[in-house]
Amino acid sequence: MLIFHNPAHARHDGRQEMFRGRLVPCHETPARLAHVMAELQRRPVGELRTPGDADLALIRRVHQPRYVDFLATAWDEWVALDPENAAVDVLPSVWPVRGFRDDVLPLNFAARVGLFSFDAGSPLTAGTWDAARTGAACAIDAARALLAANAPRATMALTRPPGHHAGADFYGGYCFLNNAALAAQALRDGGARRVAVLDVDYHHGNGTQSLFYERADVMTLSIHGDPSTEYPFFLGHADERGAGAGAGCNLNLPLPAGTDFSGWSAALEQALAEIRRFGADALVIALGVDTFEGDPISRFRVSSADYLRIGAAIATLGLPTVFTMEGGYAVAEVGINVVNVLEGFVA
């Protein structure tokens, strides 16, 4: 297994996120990835690499160019408004809703922040663009390594910020560029005919779903907390099956808060059967470990040992597989849980 890690990840270090009217410390911290790196020192399940330069042309095909331009310049614009802004992160305060226009790009900075975001929990910081762009490079390189001669069975983009909530032209849920979607598109561009993206993060992968919703060449599947009660609330229901050419190519498996491993693994078996039926020739796993019983912001009851079984079950598909790193906020256990999935997969 080849693991592309992001040397710029710690440059994205948000100070605060909005929660119930207050600013509270961010859950999505650099320490998360440091714990995974430390666990990989103890249990070297793969070989570590750093990525090359990000393929901006590919990023601008998956995401809207005007959105990518915004991300690349947002911090400088923010500080140009007032030098004292450098001590504070960017959070949105105004959003367009139904009936407002999204085709006219506002000149006002706050209006553009709102246009391109969907929550106030995802601070944009001085290093966000560097970290997100280098993370995207990890995902793209991980996908391309899988298609090379003598390719390993699996690769990973070990990165933060995560990606699965980010859509064509929006960020949110701690995500800015959709690493799993970039990996899937790179696999398609490199010759894979049908790609499945299976999202096992606690939260619905709304960004990935929306990017491929009308496509028949990429199947998207997500196992997650029921959006009736769980973030991101406005997408992820079971009746979202894809549209147009992509009809039937999206599968959501929402589960109630409190679901334990027996309930969760039954959904996993259903997802794996669907991937076999689809006839995928490559797989992307959006790997969040916020399904863990000790996660501070989520409500499933998966144990550390269960992650070994999850990795082993995914491996039964026998597909070339790219893992991308998504959520998981029980900081001390994130390393054990992620490496357990990888160890279960390669065993």
List residues with catalytic annotation. 165
When binding is defined by CB under 6 A, the residue of 114, 167, 173, 227 that contacts ligand SP5 is 173
**The token pair that represents 319 in the structure block:** 């597909």
Q: Which of residues 215-234 bind ligand SP5 (CB under 6 A)?
A: 231
When binding is defined by CB under 6 A, the residue of 39, 199, 290, 306 that contacts ligand SP5 is 290
When binding is defined by CB under 6 A, the residue of 216, 297, 313, 317 that contacts ligand SP5 is 297
Decide if residue 123 touches ligand SP5 (CB under 6 A): no
Binding mask 325-344 for ligand SP5 (x = CB under 6 A): -xx-----------------
Total number of residues that touch ligand SP5 (CB under 6 A): 16
Nearest to 196 by CA among 217, 226, 227, 213: 217
Decide if residue 202 touches Zn ion (CB under 5 A): yes
When binding is defined by CB under 5 A, the residue of 46, 123, 225, 288 that contacts Zn ion is 288
Decide if residue 320 touches ligand SP5 (CB under 6 A): no
Question: Considering all CA atoms of the chain, what is the largest pairwise distance in Å, rounded to the nearest integer?
Answer: 56
Reduced to 3 states (helix: H, G, I; strand: E, B; else coil), residue 318 is: coil
Q: Which residue is nearest to ligand SP5 (CB)?
A: 327
Decide if residue 201 touches Zn ion (CB under 5 A): yes
Q: Strand runs (DSSP E) across 134-235, as ranges? A: 154-158, 195-199, 218-225
Pairing of strands 16-19, 22-25: antiparallel
- Asked if residues 288 and 201 have their Cβ atoms less than 8 Å apart, the reply is yes
Decide if residue 51 touches ligand SP5 (CB under 6 A): no
Closer to ligand SP5 at the Cβ: 2 or 91? Answer: 91
State the binding partner of 231 from Zn ion, ligand SP5, none, CB within 5 to 8 A by kind.
ligand SP5
When binding is defined by CB under 6 A, the residue of 162, 242, 254, 311 that contacts ligand SP5 is 162
Closer to ligand SP5 at the Cβ: 114 or 162? Answer: 162
Torsion of CA 242, 243, 247, 249, to 10 degrees: -30
Q: Is 303 exposed, middle or buried (CB count within 10 Å of its CB: 0-12, 13-18, 19+)? A: middle
State the binding partner of 111 from ligand SP5, Zn ion, none, CB within 5 to 8 A by kind.
none
- Asked if residues 342 and 217 have their Cβ atoms less than 8 Å apart, the reply is no
Q: Is 149 exposed, middle or buried (CB count within 10 Å of its CB: 0-12, 13-18, 19+)? A: exposed
Decide if residue 75 touches Zn ion (CB under 5 A): no
When binding is defined by CB under 5 A, the residue of 89, 119, 230, 290 that contacts Zn ion is 290
When binding is defined by CB under 6 A, the residue of 171, 174, 213, 323 that contacts ligand SP5 is 174
Amino acid at 269: E
Which residues have C-beta within 8 Å of that of residue 269, sequence separation ≥ 6? 313
For tokens 């298609």, the residue is 147
When binding is defined by CB under 5 A, the residue of 225, 327, 335, 344 that contacts Zn ion is 327
Binding mask 6-45 for ligand SP5 (x = CB under 6 A): -------------x----x---------------------
Residue 68: alpha-carbon gap to chain centroid: 17
Decide if residue 126 touches ligand SP5 (CB under 6 A): no
CB of 96 to ligand SP5, least distance (A): 21
Residue-wise DSSP of 232-292: T-SS--TT----GGGTT-EEEEEE-TT-BHHHHHHHHHHHHHHHHHHT-SEEEEEE--TTB
* Binding region for Zn ion (CB under 5 A) out of 51-59, 139-147, 196-204, 251-259: 196-204
Calculate ∠ Cα 40-44-46, nearest 5°.
Answer: 100
The residue ranges that bind Zn ion (CB under 5 A) are: 201-203, 288, 290, 327
The residue ranges that bind ligand SP5 (CB under 6 A) are: 19, 24, 121, 162, 165, 173-175, 201, 203, 231, 288, 290, 297, 326-327
